[in-house]
Structure 1
Amino acid sequence: MLEQLMGLIQDHSQDAIVNNPAIPNQHNNDAMQTILSSVTGGLQSQAQSGNISGLMGLLSGSSGTGSGLMNNPIVGGIAQNAIQSMMEKFGLSNNAASNVIAQVLPGVLTSVISKTSNPNDSSMDFGSIMGSLLGGQQARQTQQQGGFDFNQIGYAMADGKLDMNDVMRIGGSLLGGGGAGNSGGGLGGLLGGLFGK
């Protein structure tokens, strides 16, 4: 995931970083790495704190795309962290750092959303992102114990809502493998995470 994310940041940084006289050319890559760290750190803290529903809402596009993304609280936290880091590392003013982040972050996240919510694009998907955020081993154990696939949840929420049909479809796959006794906790934990409980 990190390589793809860095590629997207490079794609969206030409004007904001590479052509920006406030950031000397020798610091271009460091500036992009700073944004990468802020994005991955922000998403990872949300995943590890259990805000699966918030992440799924963001990554499925139900929170909006483009500049509207900046109103999402997860994105707002990532942006604040990135702005602070840019100010500290490169001596930018708050205004200059904010402009860089406002030019790069919405485009990067819109591209991520486009890839993750498209079942025909396998370059990035919910499963690989959640696996990276939760740590591969933990995500594999969760998937083995509960039998669910994060991609199912993401695609179910791609229309901006999680309705009863989506829950039944996801629940059916959860209970289908290994018996209800083994999977009930996984289903309860998953639904609790989705609905913020």
Structure 2
Amino acid sequence: MLENLQNLIREHAGDAIINNPAIPNERNEEAVADASSSIISGLKTAVANGNTEEVQSLFKNGPAAASASPVAQNIQTGFAQNLMQKFGLDSGKAGGIAASLIPIVLQKFVHKTNDPNDKSFDLSSVLGSLTGGGGLGSIMNGLGGGEKDGGGIMGKIGGMFK
């Protein structure tokens, strides 16, 4: 999944990273990888902090709403902070890069995850990666639910598709 996410970011990194003089060309891949890790880290942090409903709404409400979610805003802020630290950018430039890249990537990510004809991302793999790759059973058990009671994130996610 990480490689697919990095490819998705590369597809949309044109003006934000690749053609941006604030990011040296020799560090473009580093910036792409950082955007990818910011997205994964932001999703993992949301799940770990018990914000499963926010993560679920990110995927449930579709691509158009993805960039407006609190999770997306946190990811964008985290990516901007990383750009300031790693690339020495001021907050305006870093915020601009994050604002031009993260929302579109999240919209495409959500679209691909919800598209049954697109096998590059699937919800099960995404959720498994957010909890250490243990699969859906591990997600349920790790977040306070079991298969018998339908609790935890699986009970909530099951309700997303009804």
* TM-score, reference length from structure 2: 0.83
**Superposed counterparts of 1:1-197, under 5 Å:** 1-60=1-60, 62=61, 65=64, 69-137=66-134, 139-142=136-139, 146-147=146-147, 183-184=148-149, 187-190=150-153
More helix by share: 1
Alpha carbons 2:10, 2:32 under 8 Å: kept = yes
Alpha carbons 2:136, 2:154 under 8 Å: kept = no
Higher relative contact order (CA 8 A, sep 6+): 1
Identity %: 36
d(CA) in 2 for partners of 1:29 and 1:142?
31
**Superposed displacement of residue 113, structure 1:** 1.0
What number of residue pairs does the alignment pair up? 155
Aligned-partner SS, 2:151: helix
**Superposed displacement of residue 63, structure 1:** 6.3
* TM-score, reference length from structure 1: 0.70
Distance 1:25-1:123 versus aligned 2 partners, 3 A rule? same
Q: Deviations over 1:31-51 (max 9, x none)?
A: 111111111100011122332
**Superposed displacement of residue 23, structure 1:** 1.0
Q: Deviations over 1:31-79 (max 9, x none)?
A: 111111111100011122332221121023x1652xx644311111111
Alpha carbons 2:128, 2:139 under 8 Å: kept = no
Query: What letter corresponds to residue 29 of structure 1 in structure 2?
Result: E
d(CA) in 2 for partners of 1:15 and 1:114?
22
What is the root-mean-square deviation of aligned Cα atoms in Å?
Answer: 2.4
Distance 1:88-1:141 versus aligned 2 partners, 3 A rule? closer
Aligned-partner SS, 1:71: coil
d(CA) in 2 for partners of 1:142 and 1:42?
17
Task: Mark the runs of 5 or more structure 1 residues left unpaired by the alignment.
Answer: 148-182
Aligned-partner SS, 1:136: coil
Task: Mark the runs of 5 or more structure 2 residues left unpaired by the alignment.
Answer: none
Rg larger for: 1
